[in-house]
Structure 1
Amino acid sequence: MLKRLTATGAARAAAIGLLRSYLRLAIGTTRWTFDIHPDAYPLLTGQGEHSVLVAFWHEALALTPALLWWSTARNPTLRPHVLISRNRDGRLIADIIAPWGAGTIAGSTDRKGKDKGGAAALRQLLTLIRGGNPVVITPDGPRGPRRQVEQGVIGLARLSGAPIVPVGGWCANWRLGGWDRMMIPLPFGRGRIVCGAPIAVTRDDQDTAPTHLATALDAAMHAATPARARAAQRVWAGLATLLAPALTLLLHRRLARGKEVRGRQRERMGLTARPRPAGRLVWLHAASVGETQSILPVITELLARDAALHVLLTTATVTAANLLEQRLAGTAEGARVIHQFVPLDVPRWIGRFLRHWRPDAAALTESELWPNLIEACHRKGIPLALLNARLSDRARTGWGRLPGLADRMLGRFTWIAARSDLDATRLRALGATRIDIPGDLKNAAPPLPADPAAIAHLRTLLADRPVWLAAATHEGEEEQIADAARQLRTRHPDLLTIIVPRHPERGPAIAETLGNAPRRAAGQEPGPNDTFWICDTLGELGLFYRVVPIAFIGNSLPGPGRRGGHNPLEPARFGTALATGPLTENFLDAFARLGDAVRVVPDAGALAEWVHIMLADPARRAEAGHQAEAATHADSTLPTCLATRLLALMDAR
């Protein structure tokens, strides 16, 4: 809208006049408090031996006139300048701030690959700095990513010899919806400017200087933000504390339902009987089975690269714990991996957990965002990363209702490795910074394992009849699968339908619903007259994907409590012909990667028709499986990359 407003000379002049007047009113009527580090004071007032680079995050750029007023009031001879971009927005900023006595330097454009005017701007900047003039810079400008320091700022500081003063600001404001979520001051409020200790950049530390500056700027922004603006975190913590007795009762109820392990439910309150091993320990958290499977290659790399390292892996589900035990039993890695159930997000329980385990670094996975846990790690100085970060549209909307809490929580991560561009965009919209997009760990995972003897036995068992698989099904979905199976048996009378529920503890109830169908967990196998086989065991999908050539991926048919699907790359790696329901939000990139290799079926009738086609046409079935397998070539370097970054996170502590 601003670009349209400033398209003509008259409109531009009117817009600039209005914006100047508003900014003068808002900043002039704000009651400002200035917290200036003693070493920064002489630099900001022109009384030091050197000039200075004054660094604001781009979101606080509209507050720079307040600091300019403060500086020039103490030294009227100062001639500060602001580094702007060489584009329309930069020229507009120059016109708006002109009344505050600040000059501007057109440094860069936001058009990548174009001439940014960098050489001429650099010469002008060096002349100004060496002449004793302070220069205001935005290290994450002109187009972000938000709160990520560009190397050009560090290079300027090194070449000029000017120290950088990190500045944070806050006032009563409303925020724009752009990439930086810029603060626009409101009149008649309170504001605070915090200037931290100057940072000198030398040739030896220019590689670490971006992280140092980003940390200092974040600290200044945090210090400038009043306690009431941080109230959301306190409210969350208070509510969790009040709910602790009810959560204790909930744990007992979950124990009765088989969702907690007897004798270990106290781990959910931060208590444990296991000692912390000596030496370095990294804590990884994976909510359930899918996250645990994707993080295992990272754990393997961590242990291979540091022979003295121990890994603490927490999960939230019994099935994930059982899977971990199954995968690591009898291995050398297993002796160095400790499993615990993650404590619920109650401050006291989280505190117990961290005091006992004292991790040297921590990493959460995917969408496991727990404000009290994250805040506690920050306060104890535990560096924190978010691996394979994802955020559904539903979750983005939910956190968007608590913008202060989301911004604070996401700002605590040292770095975030998003699994896709879409997830990174959603996280940035909530205030996340220092995000990169290395890829999806689930795409990089190796094929699911299976016991060779079990494969041979299953192939013999199923050799003489048509069969299809419904994998990772959720409650209510089995009824639709049974409906499809009944339709199929009119054309394939000896058809066997194998159902693998996502949560194996549901096996008995499913079997009862389907006429007491045989259950693999009970040691039962299907006879010639059985039409269903409930395979309610853990960690055996690799077995069934290898043997059964046709599979439907569950958690994807419309119904209460179902959303998002499951990872289609797991069966695709085995050349399985695949179908899914229409709910695939959790794995949009994976399904897009597979494209037409996966058939989308909206209901039981469409599912039955697709399975019939696959059964009736083996050549077509084989081609569908080959097409799926061809799309699954993974980036096997991703676990290594993330493990390296986690080790560096511990080293930098």
Structure 2
Amino acid sequence: MNVLISRNSDGRLIAEIVRKWQVGSIAGSSDRKGKNKGGAAAIRRMRACLKNGSLVTITPDGPRGPRRVVQQGVMAIASMADKPVVPVGASCLNFRLKSWDKMFFPLPFGRGVFVCGDPIYPDRKNEKATHQLTESLTRQMTLAEEKRRSSKTAQNFSFIKPVKVVPSRLWYGAASVLSPALPFLLRWRQSKGKELPSRVREKMGFATCSRPSGKVIWFHAASVGEVVSVLPLVESCLTYNPDCHALVTTGTVTAAQLVEKRKNTLKTNNNIIHQFVPFDVPRWGKRFLSYWQPQVAVFTESELWPNLFGLCHAKNLPVILVNGRMSERSLATWSKAPDVIRRMLERCRWVFPRSAQDKAHFSAFGRLNYGPTGDIKMAAPPLPVDEKALLQVKKCTEGRPVFLAASTHEGEEEIILQAAAFARKKIPQLLTVIVPRHPERGNVVAALAGGAPRRSMGALPDSTMPVWVCDTLDELGLFYRVSDCVFIGNSLEEVKGHGGGHNPLEPARLDNALATGPLIQNFTDAFEMLGQSVTVTRSAESLAEWVISVLSDKQVMMARAVAAKEAIAGHSGLLMTLTEKIMALVQA
């Protein structure tokens, strides 16, 4: 909710007080006697807020005081935004002054009454609409006074519990107390290669590059998967308005490297800045936001940080959650702290759930302002590729069937290597390509494969090579284009960790027959959409049988690849909807 409040000093004092109750303010009042009181700017701001789905509250005041006389501007704004006006009367236990405007002060701990009248819809042809609103306001105020006097509950007392600026005082305090120890954690992570020495201070909110002039949209994507999904949205927003800049933050070094590599392939790369997101420490978050001063914050998937959300709210910075994801496990975890998650989500101007199930999980924590449901990964273009590298690898693999195990995790590679050995008994020329999800595990995977050559060491496949370990970053677009069939990792029951699968839409766009293990809960909707075009395997034997059946019959292989590609066609509209919502908030 945004309230029109005078920009005079007393109005600004009121604005600061009500901000603690999640009430934003629009500064301005009617311009009179040649004085500019911000009326025109306030009208534009109110119209933009209404167009973007926010509520705008206007309290009539002035010398005509308690006899609510509505000016023409109220209905004019409603007409501009094509939104109804709801007249509201309010009354509570109070101490009334004998002043010209009969001003009253609510008494501490007293209860009050709100009365809402029927909405009045703007109609330029109806000259009496403003008069109807005046009459309705007076009637609602009278009703509120009567109900307050007659209600027994009006005499009861209760402590008022305003919504806090930060979602959780406990979380806020704990992060502040722990902050002196966090630089030592960063130093330890740096020693393990998990932080970049030259940029480790970014995790404390210090910037390592200059803020560009103009408007900045902040996109936060935690790791590689979120980066892949959000970059098409970043490019779409910058194409929509080339004068804007995008600040993309990530939490991991691998994701940072991916942003730097990918942005060179985008036409809008000069308008993209990368920084590491600060830890969820209030002081560090304030430092980050004060420096970058973004117009909109866009968080992806399950990136929910209580202090950052609270700080955005305190600065009246609109927050959007895109591709919002909440698994069963996350739902159970957040259910232990419902107040924290509810207050975080209440701060979101828009929540775009990834699926109907995710929307149902979010709804367990209150009523939210939802946008269209859908996975932006479904609207993403095919993964990019280095054409020179593609030609080189195609030449090396020409004439050989290629089985790709993509984004594998610890515990899976042994099963995949067993399946590859079984399949080579039927298909001796088979080349198995293993792409570990985390490239730093390349030496471990190569050792499991008996010292298989690694792409990160410059090795290319030859006609006798049975296994090729491709432990490089952001080259799945290349390997999907040279493979015939793809197994999607992080899905076998033997995986170390929780499992849950990876994005099956990326290989589906590039004409591959697909298989997965049974653990696919992270991408349930995507796998349901692909339906029977994806085969579920549970063991080395069943995986080998699938590889043999697909590679032995080209027609079967092509039919499954076409079925997968057709299943995801027609989802490009979601990306444009997200772009328009974000850019409308930037403009506002």
Report the TM-score range of the alignment, normalised by the length of the smaller protein. 0.7 to 0.9
Which residue number corresponds to residue 446 of structure 1? Answer: 381
CA drift of 1:332 comes to 4.8
Q: Find out whether 1:367 has 2:334 as its counterpart.
A: no
Which residue number corresponds to residue 155 of structure 1? Answer: 121
Which residue number corresponds to residue 286 of structure 2? Answer: 351
Which residue number corresponds to residue 328 of structure 1? Answer: 263
8 Å Cα contact 2:490-2:499 kept in structure 1: yes
Q: Find out whether 1:621 has 2:557 as its counterpart.
A: yes
Q: Find out whether 1:295 has 2:208 as its counterpart.
A: no
Which SS does the other structure have where 1:356 is aligned? helix
CA gap 1:523/1:312 in 2 versus in 1, 3 angstroms: same
CA gap 1:263/1:230 in 2 versus in 1, 3 angstroms: closer
CA gap 1:69/1:508 in 2 versus in 1, 3 angstroms: same
Q: C-alpha offsets along residues 298-330 of structure 1, whole Å, 9 cap, x if unaligned?
A: 222222222321111101122222222122227
8 Å Cα contact 1:399-1:430 kept in structure 2: no
CA gap 1:330/1:546 in 2 versus in 1, 3 angstroms: closer
Which residue number corresponds to residue 206 of structure 2? Answer: 271
Which residue number corresponds to residue 599 of structure 1? Answer: 535
Distance in 2 between the 1:501 and 1:482 partners? 13
CA gap 1:153/1:635 in 2 versus in 1, 3 angstroms: farther
CA drift of 1:428 comes to 1.3
Across the two proteins, how many residue pairs are aligned to each other?
Answer: 474
Which residue number corresponds to residue 586 of structure 1? Answer: 522
8 Å Cα contact 1:500-1:535 kept in structure 2: yes
8 Å Cα contact 2:513-2:534 kept in structure 1: yes
Distance in 2 between the 1:256 and 1:484 partners? 37
Which SS does the other structure have where 1:279 is aligned? coil
The one-letter amino acid of 2:529's match is: R
Distance in 2 between the 1:268 and 1:382 partners? 21
CA drift of 1:386 comes to 0.9
CA drift of 1:242 comes to 2.6
The one-letter amino acid of 1:288's match is: S
Which residue number corresponds to residue 338 of structure 1? Answer: 273
Which residue number corresponds to residue 158 of structure 2? Answer: 191
Q: Find out whether 1:407 has 2:342 as its counterpart.
A: yes
Q: C-alpha offsets along residues 143-184 of structure 1, whole Å, 9 cap, x if unaligned?
A: xxxxxxxxx846399684135999xxxxxxxxxxxxxxxxxx
CA gap 1:189/1:440 in 2 versus in 1, 3 angstroms: farther
Which residue number corresponds to residue 562 of structure 1? Answer: 498
1:458-497 aligned at under 5 Å gives the runs 458-497=393-432
Distance in 2 between the 1:281 and 1:249 partners? 32
8 Å Cα contact 1:566-1:586 kept in structure 2: yes
Q: Find out whether 1:612 has 2:543 as its counterpart.
A: no
Which residue number corresponds to residue 310 of structure 1? Answer: 245
1:84-163 aligned at under 5 Å gives the runs 135-136=115-116, 153=119, 155=121, 160-161=132-133, 162-163=136-137
8 Å Cα contact 1:458-1:547 kept in structure 2: yes
Q: Find out whether 1:630 has 2:566 as its counterpart.
A: yes
The one-letter amino acid of 1:426's match is: H
CA gap 1:231/1:649 in 2 versus in 1, 3 angstroms: closer
Distance in 1 between the 2:431 and 2:172 partners? 51
Q: C-alpha offsets along residues 102-133 of structure 1, whole Å, 9 cap, x if unaligned?
A: 9xxxxxxxxxxxxxxxxxxxxxxxxxxxxxxx
Distance in 2 between the 1:402 and 1:248 partners? 27
Task: Return 5+ residue gaps in structure 1 as ranges.
Answer: 1-38, 57-66, 72-101, 103-133, 138-151, 167-185, 193-223
CA gap 1:332/1:614 in 2 versus in 1, 3 angstroms: closer
CA drift of 1:53 comes to 6.0
1:364-403 aligned at under 5 Å gives the runs 364-403=299-338
Question: Normalising by structure 2, what TM-score?
Answer: 0.74
CA drift of 1:266 comes to 1.2
CA drift of 1:136 comes to 4.0
CA drift of 1:543 comes to 1.1
Q: Find out whether 1:225 has 2:161 as its counterpart.
A: yes
CA gap 1:190/1:407 in 2 versus in 1, 3 angstroms: farther
Which residue number corresponds to residue 200 of structure 1? Answer: none
CA drift of 1:596 comes to 0.3
Q: What do you get for the CA RMSD once the two structures are aligned?
A: 3.1
The one-letter amino acid of 1:626's match is: V
Q: C-alpha offsets along residues 402-457 of structure 1, whole Å, 9 cap, x if unaligned?
A: 01111111111111122222211111112251012242110000011112332222
CA drift of 1:338 comes to 0.5
CA gap 1:55/1:560 in 2 versus in 1, 3 angstroms: farther
Question: Normalising by structure 1, what TM-score?
Answer: 0.67
CA gap 1:412/1:69 in 2 versus in 1, 3 angstroms: closer
Which SS does the other structure have where 1:497 is aligned? strand
Distance in 2 between the 1:488 and 1:190 partners? 77
8 Å Cα contact 1:468-1:496 kept in structure 2: yes
CA gap 1:634/1:447 in 2 versus in 1, 3 angstroms: farther
Q: Find out whether 1:514 has 2:480 as its counterpart.
A: no
Which SS does the other structure have where 1:435 is aligned? coil
CA gap 1:584/1:163 in 2 versus in 1, 3 angstroms: farther
8 Å Cα contact 2:397-2:461 kept in structure 1: no
Distance in 1 between the 2:469 and 2:586 partners? 45
Distance in 1 between the 2:167 and 2:580 partners? 34
8 Å Cα contact 2:206-2:287 kept in structure 1: yes
Distance in 2 between the 1:409 and 1:331 partners? 33
Q: C-alpha offsets along residues 369-415 of structure 1, whole Å, 9 cap, x if unaligned?
A: 00011001111121111111111111111111101111111111111
Percent of residue pairs bearing the same amino acid type? 44
Q: C-alpha offsets along residues 331-363 of structure 1, whole Å, 9 cap, x if unaligned?
A: 552221110011111111111111111111111
CA drift of 1:297 comes to 2.1
Which SS does the other structure have where 1:590 is aligned? helix
1:207-218 aligned at under 5 Å gives the runs none
Q: Find out whether 1:639 has 2:575 as its counterpart.
A: yes
Task: Return 5+ residue gaps in structure 2 as ranges.
Answer: 1-57, 71-84, 95-112, 124-128, 142-152
Distance in 1 between the 2:370 and 2:581 partners? 13
Q: C-alpha offsets along residues 477-507 of structure 1, whole Å, 9 cap, x if unaligned?
A: 2122122222223333342210111111221
CA drift of 1:651 comes to 2.4
Which residue number corresponds to residue 420 of structure 1? Answer: 355
CA gap 1:277/1:554 in 2 versus in 1, 3 angstroms: same
